[in-house]
Amino acid sequence: MAHLELRGLSKRYDGNAVVDRIDLTVPPGNLVCLLGPSGCGKTTTLRLVAGFVEPSDGEVRVNDRVLSARGFATPPEQRRMSMIFQSYALWPHMTVADNVAYGLNLRGMPKAEIGRRVAEMLKAVKLGAFAERYPGEMSGGQQQRAALARALIVEPEILLLDEPLSNLDAALREEMRFEIRRLHDAYRYTTVYVTHDQAEAMTTADLIVVMNQGRIEQAGSAEDVYNRPRSTFVAAFLGGANILKGRAIDRARLDVGPAILRCAEPSFTPGGEASLSIRYHEVKVRADGAAGDNRLEARVVRQTFLGSLRDLALELADGTVIRASAPPDLAVPPDARVWVDLPSERCRPLPS
In a domain, 234, yes or no: no
**Proportion of the chain above pLDDT 90, given as a percent:** 74
**pLDDT tens readout for residues 36-50:** 999 999 999 999 999
177 and 49 in one domain? yes
- Using CA atoms, how far apart are residues 120 and 187, in angstroms rounded to an integer? 13
| Whether pLDDT at 174 is above 70 | yes
318 and 215 in one domain? no
Distances (CA, A) of 32 to 4, 20, 48, 225, 240: 11, 19, 15, 13, 22
Buried b (16+ CB within 10 A) or exposed e, 134-148: bbeebeebbbbbbbb
In a domain, 333, yes or no: yes
In a domain, 27, yes or no: yes
Overall average pLDDT of the 106-127 stretch:
91
| Whether pLDDT at 87 is above 80 | no
Q: How many domains does the structure of the chain reveal?
A: 2
Cα 196 to the chain's mean position, in Å?
Answer: 5
Chosen domain end from 227, 261, 293: 227
Please report which confidence band the pLDDT of residue 53 belongs to, taking 50, 70 and 90 as the band edges.
very high
- Using CA atoms, how far apart are residues 350 and 228, in angstroms rounded to an integer? 9
In a domain, 233, yes or no: no
Overall average pLDDT of the 30-35 stretch:
97
One-letter-per-residue 3-state SS of the chain: CCCEEEEEEEEEECCEEEEEEEEEEECCCCEEEEECCCCCCHHHHHHHHHCCCCCCEEEEEECCEEEEECCEECCHHHCCEEEECCCCCCCCCCCHHHHHHHHHHHCCCCHHHHHHHHHHHHHHCCCHHHCCCCHHHCCHHHHHHHHHHHHHCCCCCEEEEECCCCCCCHHHHHHHHHHHHHHHHHHCCEEEEEECCHHHHHHHCCEEEEEECCEEEEEECHHHHHHCCCCHHHHHHCCCEEEEEEEECCCCEEECCCCEEECCCCCCCCCCEEEEEEEHHHCEEECCCCCCCCEEEEEEEEEEECCCCEEEEEECCCCCEEEEEECCCCCCCCCCEEEEECCHHHCEEECC
- Using CA atoms, how far apart are residues 133 and 97, in angstroms rounded to an integer? 8
In a domain, 232, yes or no: no
Overall average pLDDT of the 184-202 stretch:
93
| Whether pLDDT at 175 is above 90 | no
197 and 109 in one domain? yes
Chosen domain end from 227, 255, 285: 227
pLDDT at 290: 67
One-letter amino acid at 278 equals I
181 and 254 in one domain? no
Q: What is the pTM of this model?
A: 0.89
**What's the mean per-residue pLDDT of the chain?**
92
Report which of 159, 156, 154, 158 is spatially closest to residue 104, judged by C-alpha positions. Answer: 154
pLDDT at 291: 66
Number of other residues whose CB lies within 10 A of the CB of residue 156: 20
327 and 287 in one domain? yes
Number of other residues whose CB lies within 10 A of the CB of residue 296: 22
- Using CA atoms, how far apart are residues 266 and 244, in angstroms rounded to an integer? 16
268 and 216 in one domain? no
In a domain, 264, yes or no: yes
| Whether pLDDT at 88 is above 90 | no
Q: Domain range spanning residue 300? A: 240-350
The CATH number linked to 174 is 3.40.50.300
Report which of 207, 220, 216 is spatially closest to residue 32, judged by C-alpha positions. Answer: 207
204 and 63 in one domain? yes
pLDDT at 144: 87
222 and 285 in one domain? no
Please report which confidence band the pLDDT of residue 168 belongs to, taking 50, 70 and 90 as the band edges.
confident
264 and 134 in one domain? no
Overall average pLDDT of the 261-266 stretch:
92
The CATH number linked to 326 is 2.40.50.140
In a domain, 12, yes or no: yes
Overall average pLDDT of the 113-133 stretch:
92
In a domain, 235, yes or no: no
261 and 133 in one domain? no
- Using CA atoms, how far apart are residues 350 and 352, in angstroms rounded to an integer? 6
Chosen domain end from 177, 194, 227: 227
246 and 115 in one domain? no
| Whether pLDDT at 172 is above 90 | no
155 and 62 in one domain? yes
